[in-house]
Amino acid sequence: MRQKFRCNGCGERHLSWMGQCSSCGEWGLIAEESEPDRTGRAMAKPVPLASVTQQEERRLASGIAGLDELLGAGFVFGSVVLVSGEPGVGKSSLILGMSATIMETTPSLYISAEETQAQLAQRARRFAGSYERLLVLSTRDSEEALAAIESTEARFIVIDSLQALAIGVTMMKEFVDAVVKLAKLRELVVVVIGQVTKDGDLLGPRYVEHMVDASVMLEATGAPGIRRVMVRKNRFGPSDGVRRFSLDASGVRLLEETNRLEGTPEVGRAWAGVRIGRVARIVEVNALVGAKVKGRLLSRGVETDRVRYLLSVIDKHCGLDLAEREVMVAIPSGSVVADPRIDLAIAIALVSSRRSTPMARPLLACAEIGLLGELIPDDAVRGLTQVLPVAASEVITPTTRPYLRDVLDALGLHKSDRLKVVGL
């Protein structure tokens, strides 16, 4: 037997034991593990990549277009999907509602370590699904859970939740490893529900996310019954998708994103063409500039640091005093936008609110703003605007490097206050 040491937090191997992992920096997670001696055993040999035949994955559709699109085209047989979120965000209800169609047509098993079978039945009755092929098991014993997966004919498995069934780093790793092996061996679809910390990280070792095939994050949006589902990892499809779902008594429903210019120009309103994940979207941006209160800043749907960055650029190059005022910026649709091409729409909304002047007509802004106050040309903008349902004349995109103050001036939102014409 050969002895090795592995960090149960990140999976990094070490030649000898140490208190702190040199890879992830965590303490007390390095443990000794044994590997069988491979002497005399037939070893696998490398083969040319060109000779490897590509097989299309067999998938299990959920019946909910948005979820199937997030995963690539549905759940892949032989895969394990980790669904994580804060306590009380609705992970169990969302998975039960999203899986109603599957559980009517495919032998399924729901293992719950947090609710009784009666509670699961009561929760299922709130949805429209019949769950005719669903078996339920309430247990906190990981061995019982694994035995149930092996003894039933279920092809779709839900484990709720990981932290309740496997307590401790070593047990959690061993349990997930056993689940992954079962899923690959029997071509099962396994959904594992996990909790996250207040910082948004999975509660438990990071190594768990490396072991599963896909990792999905569930977040509250602030609107009742509306949840945001984000893909953080996916071996069989896109890994940056975001969708919003409505959860009510009738089940789970995809919320279609508004992808057109809606409404009339108002003070503090602008529209941006951005990418959220891999999908092109039109999002509305609202801004409110109030009285001088030493730079109080609130933002929703966009990073606060990005708004603060834009405030400094606008103040420097347009001669305004936004950084000294109370400023609020929000994406009212509930979307979270990380695309820097939202910069121009935020700037237009801020200056519009500060000047109490709306745009003359709805226009789509699509540009990143640099530190020098210039709009940064972007070759990818053309591809983005081509998939948005607006005419080219309605989109503001930089072809050279125009300055923000000139764009605002052309829109009738800004006139320089730096020069005054006085009588001679």
Residues 109 and 194 both lie in one domain: yes
CA–CA separation, 286 and 272 (whole Å): 11
Residues 188 and 274 both lie in one domain: no
CA–CA separation, 31 and 57 (whole Å): 36
Is 396 part of a structural domain of the chain? yes
- Mean per-residue pLDDT, 244-259: 74
Is 200 part of a structural domain of the chain? yes
- Which of the given ranges, 58-67, 113-122, 338-347, has the highest pLDDT on average? 338-347
**Beta-sheet strand order (sheet of 242-248):** 134-138, 108-112, 156-160, 189-195, 79-85, 214-220, 226-234, 242-248, 251-254
Q: Express as a percent the part of the chain with pLDDT over 90.
A: 29
Is 51 part of a structural domain of the chain? no
Residues 15 and 122 both lie in one domain: no
Residues 238 and 287 both lie in one domain: no
Is 420 part of a structural domain of the chain? no
Res 421: pLDDT: 42
Residues 244 and 289 both lie in one domain: no
Model confidence pTM above 0.85: no
Is 86 part of a structural domain of the chain? yes
Q: Which residue has the tokens 């953080």?
A: 232
The range of the structural domain enclosing residue 8 comes to 2-35
Residues 73 and 204 both lie in one domain: yes
Compute the mean pLDDT over every residue in the chain, rounded to the nearest whole number.
83
Q: Is the pLDDT of residue 349 over 70?
A: yes
- Mean per-residue pLDDT, 83-99: 85
Q: Measured over all CA atoms, what is the biggest interatomic distance in the chain, rounded to whole angstroms? A: 102
**Domain containing residue 247: CATH number:** 3.40.50.300
| Domain end point (choices 254, 286, 311) | 254
- Mean per-residue pLDDT, 65-87: 88
Residues 233 and 288 both lie in one domain: no
Residues 242 and 276 both lie in one domain: no
Residues 175 and 245 both lie in one domain: yes
Residues 177 and 290 both lie in one domain: no
CA 330 to chain centre: 19
Q: Is the pLDDT of residue 279 over 80?
A: no
Q: pLDDT per residue over 213-230, tens digit each? A: 999 888 887 677 888 888
Residues 324 and 221 both lie in one domain: no
Q: Is the pLDDT of residue 152 over 80?
A: yes
Is 401 part of a structural domain of the chain? yes
HSE-CB at 156 with a 13 A cutoff on CA atoms is: 24
Q: pLDDT per residue over 293-317, tens digit each? A: 777 899 998 999 999 999 999 999 9
Res 4: pLDDT: 72
**Count of domains observed in the chain:** 3
Q: Is the pLDDT of residue 3 over 80?
A: no
Q: Please tell me the least confidently modeled range out of 202-216, 220-234, 252-266.
A: 252-266
Q: Is the pLDDT of residue 424 over 80?
A: no
Looking at per-residue pLDDT, the higher value among 355 and 55 belongs to 355
Q: Is the pLDDT of residue 404 over 50?
A: yes
Is 166 part of a structural domain of the chain? yes
- Mean per-residue pLDDT, 115-137: 84
Token pair of 399 as six digits: 């072809």
CA–CA separation, 169 and 171 (whole Å): 6
Q: Is the pLDDT of residue 55 over 60?
A: yes
CA–CA separation, 178 and 294 (whole Å): 56
Is 309 part of a structural domain of the chain? yes
CA–CA separation, 321 and 342 (whole Å): 21
Q: Which residue has the tokens 């699904």?
A: 129
Q: Express as a percent the part of the chain with pLDDT over 70.
A: 87
Residues 163 and 273 both lie in one domain: no
**Domain containing residue 343: CATH number:** 3.30.230.10
Res 105: pLDDT: 87
